[in-house]
Amino acid sequence: MKKRKKKLSKAKYGTSHKVSLAEAEHIFEAGAKQLILGSGQGGNIELSDESAEYFRKHGCSVQVLPTPQAITAWNTAKVTTIGMFHVTC
């Protein structure tokens, strides 16, 4: 597990609640088939259009779920999965 580099997104959008292309490139791992994004309790995080397209082009499906549900999805994932979980709000 590594800490999120949210400064990459904050520099572009002024908030870390939107995942930028630079951050998507940072968290992507070759061979991953899925990204599970825990969006916080209230669904505060979202992918930018550019980052969503980046994952799509790399054949990596994306699930954006409230963090408690994302943790369950991560624990039961059957394919190579990247997890990114927002836990502060």
If one counts the domains in the chain, the total is 1
What's the domain range around 28?
Answer: 7-85
**Residue 1, domain member (yes or no):** no
Q: What is the DSSP letter of 16?
A: S
Query: Where does the pLDDT of residue 1 fall: very low under 50, low under 70, confident under 90, or very high at 90 and above?
Result: low
Q: What would the pLDDT profile of 35-78 be if each residue is shown by its tens digit?
A: 999 998 888 899 999 999 999 999 999 999 999 999 999 999 99
Q: Is the pLDDT of residue 17 over 70?
A: yes
What is the full DSSP assignment across 44-83? --EE-HHHHHHHHHTT-EEEEE-HHHHHHHHHH--S-EEE
Domain assignment of residue 76, yes or no: yes
- Identify whether 25 is part of a domain: yes
pLDDT at position 89 is: 63
- Secondary element (H or E) of residue 34: strand 34-38
What pLDDT is stored for residue 16 in this prediction? Answer: 75
Residue with the bigger pLDDT between 89 and 68: it is 68
